[in-house]
Amino acid sequence: MTHSLHRVGTEESLSKDFVVAALPAMGINDAGHAPKLEAFLRLALKHNPKNYGVGNYGNEYSHSGEQVIEHAGGMVHSVFTSADDVCAFLKSLKEADLGMSVIVSGILDTVNKIVSEAGLKRHTVNVSLGVWGNTKRLPPTEIMEVTTMCGHGMVSANIVKKLVEDIRKGVTTPEAAGKMLAASCCCGIFNPERAAGLLAAAAGKK
């Protein structure tokens, strides 16, 4: 799942940012998979997710939570800030045995530890090689830390810059700005809680 693979940030910041996704293998076990992905999302809700969504529908900040779950299909996502919550979620998924492929994105060493503690065995690893080319044209790192949490590019650098200025002026709060940005991320892998901290820091409010 490469759209969650290129998040920018410090080790400290990324250590509180995990994406857990589930999907079927098309042509193999996709028949009747929607109820299984719905069950995945309902299990996620028991473990303190900061966002969750369906790839072809939206997330909890763009629709009501129940609407999101009712549209489960294709690929679903949930976002966490705690390694313990992710581990507990994986244990519940192991017990539920839904038969769907599950992907966990985060700092590799941390994810390896979580998977091991959950009694699971890792199958495959994808690692980001970073951004190549004329990187001088990229936004500042403090902006990319926020925009790269939406792997489909639905959160623009200019919106983030404006929100940083609005926070600086007291027009909005970091928490409200983080939730507003989360609504733009179609599949639900944007972490509004992490975003609030990053926006506050960029605005000099933290």
116-160, pLDDT tens digit by residue? 999 999 999 999 988 899 999 999 999 999 999 999 899 999 999
80-99, pLDDT tens digit by residue? 999 999 999 999 999 999 99
| H-assigned helices in 18-156 | 34-44, 65-70, 83-96, 108-117, 141-147
Domain span including residue 157: 137-202
Q: Select the highest-mean-pLDDT range: 46-50, 61-65, 202-206.
A: 46-50
- What is the number of H-type helices and E-type strands within the chain? 9, 5
102-120, pLDDT tens digit by residue? 999 999 999 999 999 999 9
**In-domain check, residue 161:** yes
Extract the runs of DSSP E, i.e. beta strands, from 74-194.
Answer: 76-80, 101-105
For 25, phi then psi, to 5°, come to -95, 115
176 and 111 in a common domain: no
153 and 78 in a common domain: no
151 and 82 in a common domain: no
80: β partners:
18
The whole model's pTM is what?
0.94
13-57, pLDDT tens digit by residue? 999 999 999 999 989 999 999 999 999 999 999 999 999 999 989
Q: Say whether pLDDT at 206 is over 90.
A: no
User: How confident is the model at residue 186, as a pLDDT?
Assistant: 87
CATH number at residue 76: 3.30.70
143 and 111 in a common domain: no
**In-domain check, residue 123:** no
Q: Which residue has the tokens 């705690």?
A: 82
* Integer CA distances (angstroms), 102 to 15, 48, 57, 89, 200, in order: 20, 18, 19, 11, 33
CA dist., res. 20 & res. 4, Å (int): 10
User: How confident is the model at residue 1, as a pLDDT?
Assistant: 54
99 and 164 in a common domain: no
**In-domain check, residue 127:** no
**In-domain check, residue 48:** yes
Sign of CA dihedral 83, 89, 120, 192: negative
- Structural domains of the chain, count: 2
